[in-house]
Amino acid sequence: MHSYIKGFCINPASLYAKFISCFVFLILLSAGNFSFAALPEDHAPIGVMGDHTHKAGEIMLSYRYMYMKMDGNRDGTNNLSREEVLEDFPVTPVDMDVQMHMFGAMYAPTDYITLMFMVPYIKKSMDHVTRSGARFETNSEGFGDIKSTGLFRVFYKKDHQIHLNLGMSFPTGSIDERDDTPAADNVILPYPMQLGSGTFDLILGTTYLGKSGIFSWGGQVLGTIRLGENDRDYSLGNKIEVITWGALRLNDWVSLSSRLDWTGLQNIDGADPALNPDMVPTADPDLRSIKRLDALFGINFINQAGPKLVKGHRLAVEVGFPLYQKLRGPQLETDLIVTAGWQYAF
Ligand SMILES: [Cu+2]
């Protein structure tokens, strides 16, 4: 590149032409390098999906690791002790860990449409205690529901954008996960231990993005609507998420964010006939609804230096916890949500 610039600048005969052509060339070069530079806060906090669109022809690959810790039961907004749950059920869940590896790809055939594809791999583990004091753990692991979403840019004006999120979740995740319990070996696991919904789910939403100087902000409303019933005779509750965030750029490679995330999830419709709702609260389809408000704090990095292959990689982390949660219970409460991810567009 340097020898090319040198050659280009020296070749013209007159000093004047040399100066002009060299100046024009350097402007073009810097425009290519800087005016389209991506900034850390151009992407929403890493826990938000479908937040941004891409320019025509761009491809983005991503990986997210998500962790959720649930510890202790509640009913409504009140905490329940294990003993209180065991008054009504022979078994109570004590805590649960959910880990997810989310592989994503985005591609924009035009400036107005970005296609997004997400493949989750999920690992769940739940601890229980019985009335007799016996402890046991159940585990499930595998691919979850694959989501394919189109992001349609419907409004774009300098520092503001609105796009629609329209997609489908496919029932690729298992709803037949089994494990051993003290009652029996290889029994079907309760609803929250399953890996998918078992139904085709419609994803409908809209996202707004805004920015001004070192600040950026956004909002998203996202609904998941279950279509029909799965082959175990139930459908998970419909879900709505209302998200708002703000970010502050510290310099051209790091930004900080804070976010509020409201989740509403309905009870399960129907019931898996193999589950006994009197045994453990997690097997009761009417003890699944959630209303929760999370506060989350994040940091976004983008690498601005180095050669082409190293430049432009994004790394981000977001950590959150509920400010408010009202559960139809007894149900395990959420205590911690962590998302870490990598994104790279080319
Ligand atoms: Cu992207």
pLDDT in tens, 104-122: 999 999 999 999 999 999 9
* 27, 57: one domain: no
Query: Measured in angstroms, how far is the CA atom of residue 198 from the centroid of ligand 1?
Result: 27
* 158, 84: one domain: yes
Query: Which pair of structure tokens corresponds to residue 249?
Result: 């750029």
Query: Measured in angstroms, how far is the CA atom of residue 60 from the centroid of ligand 1?
Result: 5
* 124, 29: one domain: no
Query: Measured in angstroms, how far is the CA atom of residue 153 from the centroid of ligand 1?
Result: 14
pLDDT in tens, 56-84: 999 999 999 999 999 999 999 999 999 99
Range of the domain at 31: 1-36
Query: Measured in angstroms, how far is the CA atom of residue 52 from the centroid of ligand 1?
Result: 6
* 12, 53: one domain: no
The pLDDT value given to residue 31: 37
Other Cβ atoms within 10 Å of 329 Cβ, number: 22
* 114, 206: one domain: yes
Query: Measured in angstroms, how far is the CA atom of residue 50 from the centroid of ligand 1?
Result: 8
* 75, 24: one domain: no
- Give the CATH number for residue 163: 2.40.160.40
* 8, 153: one domain: no
Query: Measured in angstroms, how far is the CA atom of residue 22 from the centroid of ligand 1?
Result: 36
Contact in structure between 117 and 156 (CB atoms under 8 Å): no
Query: Measured in angstroms, how far is the CA atom of residue 338 from the centroid of ligand 1?
Result: 20
Phi-psi bin for 213: left (phi > 0), alpha (psi -120 to 50), beta? left
The reported pTM is 0.86
Query: Measured in angstroms, how far is the CA atom of residue 54 from the centroid of ligand 1?
Result: 6
Query: Measured in angstroms, how far is the CA atom of residue 82 from the centroid of ligand 1?
Result: 44
Is 80 exceeded by the pLDDT of residue 11?
Answer: no
Query: Measured in angstroms, how far is the CA atom of residue 250 from the centroid of ligand 1?
Result: 22
Query: Measured in angstroms, how far is the CA atom of residue 48 from the centroid of ligand 1?
Result: 11
Average pLDDT value for residue range 249-270 = 96
* 185, 226: one domain: yes
CA 115 → CA 7, 67, 151, 203, 226, distances in Å?
Answer: 42, 26, 6, 13, 21
* 111, 14: one domain: no
Query: Measured in angstroms, how far is the CA atom of residue 326 from the centroid of ligand 1?
Result: 33
Is 90 exceeded by the pLDDT of residue 154?
Answer: yes
Instruction: Give the position of tokens 């709702």.
Output: 277
Query: Measured in angstroms, how far is the CA atom of residue 151 from the centroid of ligand 1?
Result: 10
Query: Measured in angstroms, how far is the CA atom of residue 87 from the centroid of ligand 1?
Result: 49
The pLDDT value given to residue 190: 97
* 178, 118: one domain: yes
Q: Express as a percent the part of the chain with pLDDT over 70.
A: 89
Contact in structure between 296 and 258 (CB atoms under 8 Å): yes
Query: Measured in angstroms, how far is the CA atom of residue 154 from the centroid of ligand 1?
Result: 17
The pLDDT value given to residue 54: 95
* 193, 87: one domain: yes
Helical H runs in the chain? 2-10, 15-30, 82-88
Query: Measured in angstroms, how far is the CA atom of residue 334 from the centroid of ligand 1?
Result: 28
- Kindly list the protein residues that place their beta carbon closer than 5 angstroms to ligand 1, a single-atom ion: 60, 106
- How many domains does the chain contain in total? 2
* 286, 157: one domain: yes
Query: Measured in angstroms, how far is the CA atom of residue 108 from the centroid of ligand 1?
Result: 9
Instruction: Flag the least confident range among 36-40, 231-235, 311-315.
Output: 36-40
The pLDDT value given to residue 35: 36
CA distance 113 to 148: 13
Is 60 exceeded by the pLDDT of residue 189?
Answer: yes
Query: Measured in angstroms, how far is the CA atom of residue 245 from the centroid of ligand 1?
Result: 17
